[in-house]
Amino acid sequence: MQSEIERVKVLIIGSGPAGYTAAIYASRAGLSPVLYTGGQPGGQLTITNDVENYPGYPNSITGPEMMEDFRKQAERFGTQVRYGLATSVDFTTKPHTVIIDEQVTIHADTVLISTGASAKWLGIESETRLNGKGVSACAVCDGFFFRGQEVAIVGAGDTACEEASYLANICSKVYMLIRKDEMRASQIMQKRVMNNPKIEILWNTETDEILGEEEVNGVRIFNNKTGEKSEIAISGFFVAIGHQPNTGIFKDFIHMDEAGYIKTIPGSTKTNVEGVFACGDAQDNIYRQAVTAAGTGCMAALDAERYLAEFEND
């Protein structure tokens, strides 16, 4: 039962680098943004141990600490950061309507979608237990920590091939675990990994268990044709089986690609709905980095500011 109705100029849905950066810019512009954190406050960075590739942190920083810094900076300029999950929306009228936790109704002149995308996982216990302790879903983010070491990566698409190639540049060996006897990747990407002497492809191979107590020290695999099990000594385990954008509640109103990523007008964060903007991994299926997400968060806030200026002058 809905118990509250509120009108705001700028509503930000999501609290990763994109959402918090949008909040910093919008609040400094005097737009009094309200940000709802979503189900995972801070986004995917909250399950990342050390972040070494974000400018301004020369000695690295943990993901949770970084997101806490972002939040404090947004609040310093007047952003209202609230815990809550957007459960439904209606973008057919102005102002736009967003329901939070099926209880609070927000009427927003502009909505900035920064709900991100969640990595798909294998679903085994050790994967969860060792996440951030050698298990990762982002080779570009975490591969550096395993330079000169042996690692494994699961996946058979273009992203998996790209990440395997990236890891091969800095690791001594990369085992590529593929559960079928063929890849989904494009031919050029397949040739790239097959011709790389540091990448060993294991076909018809699935993960039985990631080994290690406090950190990854190996993986137990099995051949799904023969049932034969074996163990490989590794220190890093990467999962590259895709991401799922957290955009389901917007599908009836916002144009998306076949995977659910929000389409934005090139060179902007504008969606097909006036006054609704998208930033971060919810609309980026290519780069998926904290720094690029923050950049599009800035863009979304500036786009919203310009939209509101035109709206108020009409």
Looking at the DSSP bridge assignments, the partners of residue 5 are: 105
Domain boundaries, the chain: 4-118+243-313, 121-239
Looking at the DSSP bridge assignments, the partners of residue 154 are: 177, 239
Confidence grade of residue 48 (pLDDT, cut at 50, 70, 90): confident
pLDDT at residue 140 in the model: 87
For domain 121-239, is the CATH number 3.40.50.970? Answer: no
Q: 168 near 151, Cβ under 8 Å?
A: no
Q: Is 171 assigned a catalytic role? A: no
Q: Is 142 assigned a catalytic role? A: yes
CA geometry: angle 131, 14, 3, nearest 5 deg: 120
Residues making up the chain, counted from first to last? 314
Q: Which fold has domain 4-118+243-313?
A: FAD/NAD(P)-binding domain (3.50.50)
Q: Spot the catalytic one: 142, 281, 284, 303.
A: 142
Q: Spot the catalytic one: 138, 161, 171, 279.
A: 138
pLDDT in tens, 139-178: 988 999 999 999 999 999 998 999 999 999 999 999 999 9
pLDDT at residue 1 in the model: 46
Q: 205 near 224, Cβ under 8 Å?
A: yes
Q: Spot the catalytic one: 50, 109, 141, 281.
A: 141
Q: 14 near 292, Cβ under 8 Å?
A: no
State mean pLDDT over 248-262: 97
pLDDT at residue 201 in the model: 97
pLDDT in tens, 69-126: 999 999 999 999 999 999 999 999 999 999 999 999 999 999 999 999 998 999 999 9
Q: Is 161 assigned a catalytic role? A: no
Bridge-based pairing of strands 104-113 and 276-278 is parallel
Taking all residues of the chain, what is their mean pLDDT, rounded to a whole number?
94
pLDDT at residue 18 in the model: 97
Q: 82 near 101, Cβ under 8 Å?
A: no
Q: 158 near 186, Cβ under 8 Å?
A: yes
Statement: residue 204 has pLDDT above 50:
yes
